[in-house]
Amino acid sequence: MKRRVVITGLGAVTPLGNSVMDTWSGLCAGKSGIGTITKFDASDFATRIAGELKGFDPLMYIGKKELRRLDDFIIYSLASSEMAVADSELTITDPRADRVGVVIGSAIGGLATIEKEKTILLNRGARKVSPFTIPSALANLAAGHVSIRFGAKGPISCPVTACASGTTAIGEAFRLIASNYADVIIAGGADAAITPLAVAGFNAMNALSRRNDEPQKASRPFDLGRDGFVISEGCGILILEALDTARKRGAKIYAEILGYGTTSDAFHLAVPPPGHEGAVRCMHAALQDAGIDSSEIDYINAHGTSTPLNDQFETEAIKTAFGSHSRRLAVSSTKSMTGHLLGATGSVEAIITTKALETGILPPTINLDQPDPACDLDYVPHLARQCDIRIAMSNTFGFGSVNATIILGKYSE
């Protein structure tokens, strides 16, 4: 028998706000967090827009001395974890510290640090490279720093499954608790890859939107005029907890994690297969793990990247996986407002799905002005919708043929 796993704390920094509350308010208002890149001079780049954090003060969470030693993706993880732990009112003490784990994924890790220190190496020589270069660059150091900060001595890991990293982290944390390897896990994903190399690299793949004159309209999932995703940064952290542990300490319960599925397309590094059959198997695997029928799903937070192939193939996959029920589902892509947070996107969208279950509000898909005839589901266009939902699904798909799906439900005794 699997142990039941619930969500007791949430923390996030996103292009829409530096807290879960601000992010959720922006989503419900249909607000876009996309703007012109300010982190570097992008005037010569084909893409000059991104979803950057705004007004974020790292000194609220980290001292000045430590700040200089950390890449932004680690800083965002520490900040979001502080929020989530405080929200959960979780206290980690020695007798139970080895039952508390950390699983934080990242698609790219400390790319900004690598770029900065490589420039120093070339211009000033090897002796000027910081001794904190490698600790700032390693993808698993977000989980490492969070573990040290809170004294969490249980399982620790860092899934690196491209854009699915955040969902993979939550799914693997869910499995660890359900299988009694841990009682509590700080789980999520983080990335801070709005850098010259990342933007140039994604541009070289023709993956990014080039709607530079209309940043807030650039991310337009399922719209006929979509031309690529918008790269963003941020972090989402959830406190996952065994139900019996949460009950004993009287924790607030936001939602329950019911199931997790992950598959490979085994097809292409960056292109989904026609019909997105790997995604179909992934959704079926999550449904089977949850022990529910597809007809019980009320809402899907779609991967919905605003790329021509993904949006069409994800639509086909949902139709295949859900059959006639796909016409009764509400589906939305909140990337239309947040952009694509790479390894953080799955965990941020898990938080969004949790809030949808808690509040009965479905966030919209904005910029859906001219729906693609091949994308013909109910995408909650333009405006948030009041809808009491019981069970919801969140999909994320990543480079390297990886798919990950989690299913969340309203908590019930």
Residues annotated catalytic, as ranges: 163, 303, 340
Q: Phi and psi (nearest 5°) for 324?
A: -65, -25
CA distance 284 to 252: 30
CA distance 342 to 108: 8
| Amino acid type, 321 | A
Residue whose tokens read 């249980």? 154
For residue 54, what are the contacts with CB-CB under 8 A and spacing of at least 6? 15, 18, 33
In angstroms, how far apart are the furthest CA atoms of the chain? 64
| Amino acid type, 218 | A
Tokens, residue 223:
């719209």
Q: What kind and span of H or E run contains 23?
A: helix 20-28
Q: What is the CA radius of gyration of the chain?
A: 20
| Amino acid type, 407 | I
| DSSP sequence for 88-149 | HT----HHHHTTEEEEEE-SS-SHHHHHHHHHHHHHH-GGGS-TTHHHHH-TTHHHHHHHHH
3-state SS class at 389: coil
CA torsion through residues 86, 89, 90, 91, sign: positive
Q: Phi and psi (nearest 5°) for 196?
A: -55, -45
